[in-house]
Amino acid sequence: MRFRKVLSTGIAAMLSSSMLLVACSGNNGDVKPGNSPGTGSAAASKEPAKAAEKPDPFGKYDPPIEVTSVREMNSAWKFPSDQTMENNVWTKGYEQDLGMKVKYLWTSDQYEQKLNLTIASGQLPDVMAVNATQLQQLADAGQLADLTDVYQQYASPVTKEYLEKDGGASMRAATLNGKLLALPFTASGYDQAPLLWVRTDWLKKLNLPEPKTMQDVFAIAEAFTTQDPDGNQKNDTFGLGATKGLYGHMGTLEGFFNGYHVYPGKWVKDASGKLVYGGVQPEMKAALAKLNEMYKKGQIDSEFGVRDGNKLAESLTSGKLGMFFGEMWASLFPLQDGKNLNPEMDWKAYPLPSIDGKPAKPQIGLGTVEYYVVKKNFKNPEVVVKLMNYYLRQCLDPNTRETFSYKDGMEFYRFSIVKSSSVTSNIDAYLDVKGALETKDTSKMKVESNKVYYEAVDKFMNQGDISGWGYTRVFGPGGSQSLLHHYFTNNGFQRDEFFGAPTPSMGDKIPTLGKMEVEQFTKIIMGAAPIDSFDEFAANWNKLGGEQVTKEVNDWKAKQ
């Protein structure tokens, strides 16, 4: 249902996949250099006062303990010539600072498949990374250690800040039957939110107001289609972009549907509190009817049903399209390419407009990438918490972060057994840039790498260097991250209410139901099926497995 965007160098640099996504970002909190000698899991002191002391989150085991694990290995990863997965800065740090000797039972570039075989064999390592399905499988089999108490005892303030910063959604996903059975690898789900991108130089040329409502969107789409905004005396522009598959990263219609308060691909609460699938809710019918009307008027490319994201990018950069729904990074690719070709071209992200007076909420999913678990009966289950503490400290401490994280293309962070990141890493970067623009002082930035964004924004705003335009539309005043910051601080996102492992019927039913959904909605938009066929689709969706999946989702909810 989704096309994969091809990341340009600009996007890779902006997202800093090797840094921002996987940890070295966010508030430094209580991070301090050096290690504190602690008790770890050593025997409690005979003295009552010391026995009551809180365990040291960074305590070193003495004598050292052995911790077994398994690891993904990818030939494309960049490592220093003197380091290997078995012997590197992290394994040495674990032993020197924490008293943990790590032993890998295996490494593989087919990690998920090999881990499935390991799980089937019952020969589990002490600590491992699993996906949501494997987490559920191991939990059902009673093979995981309960981390509820050791998390509260050993997690450092920074670890708690990172793992709970999304309002606790990731930690709830790692909690099954009331027990915390894993630590989540948190990443940002907020950056998935659809926003409305509009070509503002066309707005000015046609003397149109900025969009505040869906009615404004309709008027802008009509004007961009009929009033020759590119001035070439030809009827060759489109008001609203869309792509085959309907949902994705750019040209997604999720943002359009969110304006009607419907959330395809997500599970939401109905008036009774029951979880229902967004794509079959009655409000979807009105949204599809409007898209059909816009299609008939030529406001949507007549061939959108066979065009992917790359084709949409061509329309954007060539100046034939004036509005689309997409994620926060769109100004870096493909819009920066269009700006380079035509410096007069200008775009801006806007909050999602609403069809009525009720605020529109952009939909987002859970940002959790994977889960870190400990096998049942391992005598030191707290090691996974201490590994997380250590990861964040080494990555955030200015004295160690380059050695342990990322420098000159060397991806040291990949060696770590566990990882985490700030779910608000790019929002935090926006705030850093905002502060530096106001004070002309970068010394107070929480993350050193955010200076790159500030410098790009400053060059565009004060020197007219258009190479920094894309970054400005993300991190600058009124940029996409300023919108996400507003949504974040005002509880403005629509979260997916289902964040568990796939239910028993999902694997068989959801792919078929999803294909049916896209095909039927595309037919309705293009006029190949009547609007009322939505009712038949919704009924068939339930008959062909949706009703069973909905029951399983609500059974899952009842256990939370």
Q: Taking the domains of the chain in order of start, what are their residue ranges?
A: 34-43+53-188+368-415, 194-361, 425-489
Residue 63, preceding peptide bond in cis (omega within 30° of 0): yes
The beta-strand segments (E) located in 126-227 are 127-130, 175-176, 179-180, 183-184, 195-199
Q: Does 34-43+53-188+368-415 match 194-361 in CATH topology?
A: yes
> Which of 347, 304, 108 is CA-nearest to residue 210?
347
Residue 262 confidence (pLDDT): 97
Please give the pLDDT value at position 52.
Answer: 55
pTM recorded for the entire structure: 0.85
Residues 6+ apart with CB under 8 A from 304: 241, 242, 243, 244
State the burial class of residue 269 (Cβ atoms within 10 Å of its Cβ: 0-12, 13-18, 19+).
Answer: exposed
pLDDT at 20: 37
* 3-state secondary structure (DSSP) of residue 281: coil
Considering only CA atoms, which of 260, 258, 264 is closest in space to residue 280? 264
Residue located via tokens 């600590």? 127
Q: Which of 396, 385, 420 is nearest to 28 (CA)?
A: 396
Angle in degrees, 0-180, between the axes of helices 425-439 and 480-489, rounded to the nearest 10: 110
Residues contacting residue 336 through CB under 8 Å, at least 6 positions apart: 10, 469, 470
Give me the residues paired with residue 179 across strands. 176
Spell out, as residue ranges, where the chain has pLDDT lower than 50: 1-51
Return the ∠ at Cα 248 (arms to 499 and 269), rounded to 5°.
Answer: 35
Cα 336 from Cα 253, distance rounded (Å): 22
Helices 214-226 and 283-296: crossing angle in degrees, nearest 10, is 10
CA distance 373 to 183: 7
Q: Are strands 100-108 and 65-72 parallel, antiparallel or unpaired?
A: parallel
**pLDDT number for residue 142:** 96
- Give the model's pLDDT for residue 210: 97
pLDDT of residue 22: 43
Q: How are the residues of the chain apportioned to helix, strand and coil, as percentages rounded to the nearest 5?
A: 45, 10, 45
What's the pLDDT score for residue 284? Answer: 97
CA distance 412 to 77: 10
The answer to whether 385 touches 148, Cβ cutoff 8 Å, is: no
Helix (H, G, I), strand (E, B) or coil at 176: strand
- In this structure, what DSSP letter does residue 280 have? G
The CATH number of domain 194-361, selected from 1.10.10.2160, 3.40.190.10, 3.20.20.120, 3.20.19.10: 3.40.190.10
Calculate the CA 33 to chain-centre distance: 30
Pick the CATH number of 34-43+53-188+368-415 from 3.40.190.10, 3.30.470.10, 3.40.50.720, 3.40.50.300: 3.40.190.10
